[in-house]
Amino acid sequence: MTESEGQGSRERYRAQVREEIKQHAWRQIATAGVNALSLNAIAKQVGMSGPALYRYFASRDDLITALIRDAYQSLADTVRAAATPPATTDVPALAAPIATTSATSASVAAPAAGVATTAGAADTTAVTDIAAGAGATSAAVTRAITGTTTLGAAVPAAATSTTPAPATTNAPTTPNADPNTVTDLAKLAHAIRDWARADPQRYFLIYGTPVPGYHAPEDTTAISTQVMTALLDACAALPPTTTPATHFDIHLVTHRDWTDHPAPAATLHRALSFWTRLHGVLSLELAGHFTGMKFDPDLLITDELNALIDQ
């Protein structure tokens, strides 16, 4: 065996042991929660001494970080798979006609009273008030919120394009939205819910109460942004919002360092609303707060999607 082959064998063995340690850690977390995680207990289960285990994970926090990274990556892979268009071009027929969103549609008619009338633009009073508070012009505020390049211009193509996807029984039935793009958002919502229900402790490790004394490295958030990017892509494909601008919309114009997505502020707001509503339902469901209420959380999520798309 050459030196390089020996090194490769040692690396494979190390990876296998690390994976075995993580599996025991997940079982321990499922039984007693992350706060009860014990490296010494895991070492006994693996069949090694406590000091020997520290050759694979330098500390309890190091092990928790590895578990968090694995959880985020698993969720990101699930979301990416749900967001990926099917390879075939045979898309099942949709019951409702597909609404169009283009630069020539009625929703992007010429501006009136000095502001854009594109669906999703703020009403004149709200824009004026918010612009004054933000130290900007009404035109700049309107463009920043809706993504228009000039007053009355259409939302960029990236924000109105659609990706065909098969209809699902869980898709919302909002009449004014493109069924394809609505289906994409519904697929993401139910894929995330299925992932969370498959392993609630894994879900709570990344979205539950922070582990006391533990501080996750900054690079763990890089994986989590993959999930938000998929949500932003799905929300950007929806018809433009028709609700007036809010102070939070304006806030997002200058507070968007958390994403590199080119979507306008209104789309960022929509994606954040989707994210918070979905995780609100999931957290309550997985923590058992719906027990005894005898309603279907799946239908609740669908109604929340409808309400969001109707905005």
Among 50-64, 147-161, 228-242, the range scoring the smallest mean pLDDT is 147-161
pLDDT classification of 35: cutoffs 50, 70, 90: confident
- Residue 138 and residue 44 in one domain: no
Measured between alpha carbons, how far is 92 from 166 in angstroms, rounded to an integer? 6
Measured between alpha carbons, how far is 189 from 298 in angstroms, rounded to an integer? 10
- Residue 147 and residue 214 in one domain: yes
Model pLDDT, residue 308:
83
Q: For residue 126, what is the domain's CATH number?
A: 1.10.357.10
Measured between alpha carbons, how far is 103 from 206 in angstroms, rounded to an integer? 41
The two three-digit tokens of residue 189, written as one number: 């919502």
Model pLDDT, residue 223:
84
Number of structural domains, the chain?
A: 2
Give the residue carrying structure tokens 């824009």.
127
Give the residue carrying structure tokens 């659609």.
162
Measured between alpha carbons, how far is 227 from 202 in angstroms, rounded to an integer? 16
- Residue 44 and residue 115 in one domain: no
Read off the DSSP letter of residue 112. B
Q: Count Cα neighbours of 184 within 13 Å in the Cβ-side half-sphere.
A: 24
Q: Is residue 84 part of a domain?
A: no
Overall size of the chain counted in residues: 311
pLDDT classification of 219: cutoffs 50, 70, 90: confident
Q: Is residue 278 part of a domain?
A: yes
Sort 140 into a burial class: Cβ within 10 Å, 0-12 / 13-18 / 19+: middle
Q: For residue 43, what is the domain's CATH number?
A: 1.10.10
Model pLDDT, residue 36:
86
- Residue 256 and residue 130 in one domain: yes
Per-residue pLDDT at 211 exceeds 50: yes
Q: Is residue 101 part of a domain?
A: no
Q: Of 165, 176, 182, 171, nearest to 100 (Cα)?
A: 176
- Residue 210 and residue 267 in one domain: yes
Read off the DSSP letter of residue 57. -
In terms of pTM, does the model score above 0.85? no
Per-residue pLDDT at 163 exceeds 60: no
Measured between alpha carbons, how far is 127 from 138 in angstroms, rounded to an integer? 6
Residue 14 domain boundaries? 1-58
Q: How does pLDDT run across 10-19, given as a tens digit for each residue?
A: 899 999 999 9
Buried b / exposed e across 24-61, counting CB within 10 Å, b at 16+?
Answer: bbbebbeeeebeebebeebbebbebeeeebbebbeebb
- Residue 138 and residue 230 in one domain: yes
Please list, in sequence order, all residues whose beta carbon lies within 8 angstroms of the beta carbon of residue 107, skipping any fewer than 6 positions away. Answer: 101, 118, 119, 239, 240
Please list, in sequence order, all residues whose beta carbon lies within 8 angstroms of the beta carbon of residue 78, skipping any fewer than 6 positions away. Answer: 191, 192, 194, 195
Long-range contacts of 16-25 (CB under 8 A, 24+ apart): 17/46, 17/56, 18/56, 18/57, 18/66, 20/46, 21/46, 21/53, 21/56, 21/57, 21/63, 22/63, 22/66, 22/67, 22/70, 25/63, 25/67
Q: Is residue 76 part of a domain?
A: no
Q: How does pLDDT run across 252-309, given as a tens digit for each residue?
A: 999 999 999 999 999 999 999 999 999 999 999 999 999 999 999 989 998 988 888 8
- Residue 281 and residue 135 in one domain: yes
- Residue 155 and residue 272 in one domain: yes
- Residue 28 and residue 119 in one domain: no
